[in-house]
Amino acid sequence: MKPLAIPLLTALLASPPLLAQSTGNDSLRVTDHGAQCNGTADDTAGLKAALAAAQKTGRPLLITGSCTTRETLNVPDNVQIDGRGTGSIKSIGPSGRLLSLHGVSHVTVRALRLDGSYPNASVNYAIQVDQSSQVVLADLELVNPGNGIGVSGGSREVIISRPRVIASHQHGVEISDASDVTVREGLFDGQAGFGIIINGTSSRIRVVDNTTHKSGLELVGATWSTSDLIISGNHAANTGDNCYSLTGHNISFTGNMGIGCAGNGLNIYGHHVTATGNYFRNNSQAWKTNAAWRAGILIGGGWGGTSQHNVVTGNVVDDDQPTPTQQYGIFIPANHPLTWAAGQAVTTGAFKVLGLRIYRAINNGTSGNTPPTHTAGTASDGGVTWQYVDSYDTTAQPDFNIVMNNQLGRAAVAGFADHSTASSNQTPQPPGRR
């Protein structure tokens, strides 16, 4: 487990610029290719024809009016789509997926409204970017999508700038097995899931200056196999879970805010996370319903993370409510991992620990009689196949963490507490006040 690579982070901070907006003088108009875009006609055929013409001629495609489509529109290579802030495409079919960018490059979609509110539509992404590169999605508004924007399949060099995703039935943006992706200055409100979820083997992801005022789950979440992330300047309020949850590794988490969330302001499940200069206030609103929701910042294992080798310094944590809900400003609980044993009923995705090794179940079943010992890939115990996830360092406790120089205000119990049995945490942290 290596510490955060600062040169890599510096390089990531320089994103490629957005493509210049078309003046319209050389643009194709979607209404010149059979689309009426009057809000009632089926414009599927006209939209497809316009996309083909844009690829053939190399000219930008201007979408004006209220277009509709019954099918997913496949966006080809080297196409620029511009809605000028007034154009929209609404789904009138059950797929719910409006735009698909599959195996393409040099594509820009900007200033377009996408409406996924067709009754009983599936939870497909309104826009899916898959196996693609050098893609810019700028100033898009997604309303009632089944899912928001998906970036997957090894896609790289994708910029999602100033998205507005409202009332997604799942997430705002989901990044899976992708690299060099930036999500910045977005508004994610009313989604059932995460504002932004980073999962799979995604790496070199930047999440900067995004906001939620209400989210079913976290504004930003990162799962166990993600790495080399920059998360900065984001503002989460009133989420239905933690404000932020980080289970990956090599993560820089700086200058973020979390206020009034149901769970912890920040939950660090992963390792080699550096959290500095963040502000958390009045979180753990639902602490009475979930014992894990108790702090402004919590460093604790779970979901495949080791919660080791993290640095938490220079943060401000407070609770100014008449009756504080944050039980602790910063808290390190004891870890009680679920241990592998033969004859257990196991569900797909369950995490188990054997020795210092963490495994994840690939299938439902009853664990067999062959204990997993592998440290890479997958192996079967005779009943369940286990994917190796990670290993603890020395102890299965949140250990080797540094917590110091944080400004701790009020908390219901204590500003800081370490209830783990770890012996190597460095926590010269004043206790704060009650």
- Spatial CB neighbours of 25, under 8 Å, sequence gap ≥ 6: none
Distance CA 281, CA 236 (A): 11
Distance CA 231, CA 242 (A): 15
Residues making up the chain, counted from first to last: 434
* Residues 204 and 230 sit within 8 Å (Cβ to Cβ): no
Provide the pLDDT for residue 12.
Answer: 40
Provide the pLDDT for residue 331.
Answer: 97
In b/e form, how buried is each residue of 234-264, taking b as 16+ CB within 10 angstroms?
Answer: bbbbebbbbbbbbbbbbbbbbebbbbbbbbb
Provide the pLDDT for residue 299.
Answer: 98
Q: Structure tokens of 419?
A: 């209830």
Provide the pLDDT for residue 118.
Answer: 76
Residue closest to 229 by CA, chosen among 254, 206, 198, 259: 206
Q: Structure tokens of 179?
A: 């690299």
Provide the pLDDT for residue 241.
Answer: 98
In the predicted model, residues of the chain with pLDDT beneath 70 are 1-25, 120-121, 429-434
Residue closest to 37 by CA, chosen among 94, 115, 97: 115
Rounded to whole angstroms, what are the CA distances from 85 to 126, 146, 179, 211, 306? 18, 22, 29, 21, 45
Rounded to whole angstroms, what are the CA distances from 283 to 20, 180, 216, 236, 287? 41, 32, 15, 11, 9
Domain-wise residue ranges, the chain = 345-391
Residue closest to 373 by CA, chosen among 354, 392, 390, 347: 354
Q: Structure tokens of 31?
A: 């209404």
Other residues' Cβ atoms within 10 Å of the Cβ of residue 50 = 26
Provide the pLDDT for residue 123.
Answer: 81
Provide the pLDDT for residue 137.
Answer: 98
* Residues 160 and 186 sit within 8 Å (Cβ to Cβ): yes
Residue 322, phi then psi, degrees to nearest 5: -55, -40
Distance CA 266, CA 245 (A): 6
* Residues 241 and 218 sit within 8 Å (Cβ to Cβ): yes
Within 131-248, strands assigned E span: 133-138, 141-143, 147-152, 156-161, 164-166, 173-176, 179-184, 187-189, 196-199, 203-208, 211-212, 220-222, 227-232, 235-237, 244-246
User: pTM of the prediction?
Assistant: 0.93
Provide the pLDDT for residue 199.
Answer: 97
Rounded to whole angstroms, what are the CA distances from 254 to 110, 223, 237, 257? 29, 18, 17, 9
In DSSP notation, 269-327 reads -SEEEEEES-EEES--TTTTT-TT--EEEEE--BTTB---S-EEES-EEE--SSS---S
Residue closest to 27 by CA, chosen among 76, 77, 79, 65: 79
Distance CA 24, CA 412 (A): 59
* pLDDT digits 0-9 by tens, 340-392: 999 999 999 999 999 999 999 999 999 999 999 999 999 999 999 999 999 99
